[in-house]
C-alpha cells in the first residue's frame, strides 16, 4: 500500500511525532514506543537506530554513525535503516 507515495530521502531530518513517546520502561527493562492506540516494542536493531533520532541528524548521518559503529558497509546499513524508518513514518511514529 506504499506504492505511489514519495519514499524517504537521505537528506530527510526525522523526529518523533508529537504525542509519541520513546522511552525506557523500568518494569520490563525494555525500550518502548507509546503512541495513540499503539504500543511498539522495537527490537535491538531498531533501538540503535531510534536512539539516533534527535530532530537534527538527517538519514544520511544516521547511516554514517551506524556504519562506523558496526564497522559495516554503508549500503548494507542503509538497506536495514531505510525500510524501517519509512515504515515508522507511514505509521506516523516519526515525521519529517
Candidate segments 19-27, 48-56, 62-70, 72-80, binder of other proteins by CB under 8 A? 19-27
Among 36, 43, 44, 55, binds other proteins (CB under 8 A): 36
In the DSSP assignment, the letter for residue 61 is H
Under rule CB under 8 A, residue 29 binds other proteins:
no
Under rule CB under 8 A, residue 15 binds other proteins:
no
- φ/ψ region of 24 (left if φ > 0, alpha if ψ in -120 to 50, else beta) reads beta
Interface contacts to other proteins, rule CB under 8 A:
1-2, 5, 18-19, 21, 25, 27-28, 32, 34, 36-37, 39, 90-92
Amino acid at each position: 500500500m506504499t506504492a505511489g507515495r514519495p519514499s524517504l530521502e537521505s537528506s530527510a531530518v526525522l523526529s518523533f511525532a508529537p504525542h509519541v513517546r520513546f522511552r525506557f520502561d523500568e518494569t520490563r527493562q525494555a525500550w518502548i514506543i507509546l503512541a495513540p492506540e499503539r504500543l511498539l516494542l522495537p527490537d535491538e536493531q531498531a533501538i540503535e537506530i531510534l536512539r539516533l533520532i534527535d530532530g537534527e541528524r538527517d538519514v544520511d548521518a544516521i547511516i554514517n554513525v551506524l556504519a562506523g559503529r558496526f564497522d559495516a558497509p554503508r549500503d548494507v546499513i542503509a538497506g536495514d535503516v531505510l525500510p524501517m524508518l519509512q515504515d515508522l513514518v507511514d505509521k506516523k511514529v516519526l515525521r519529517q
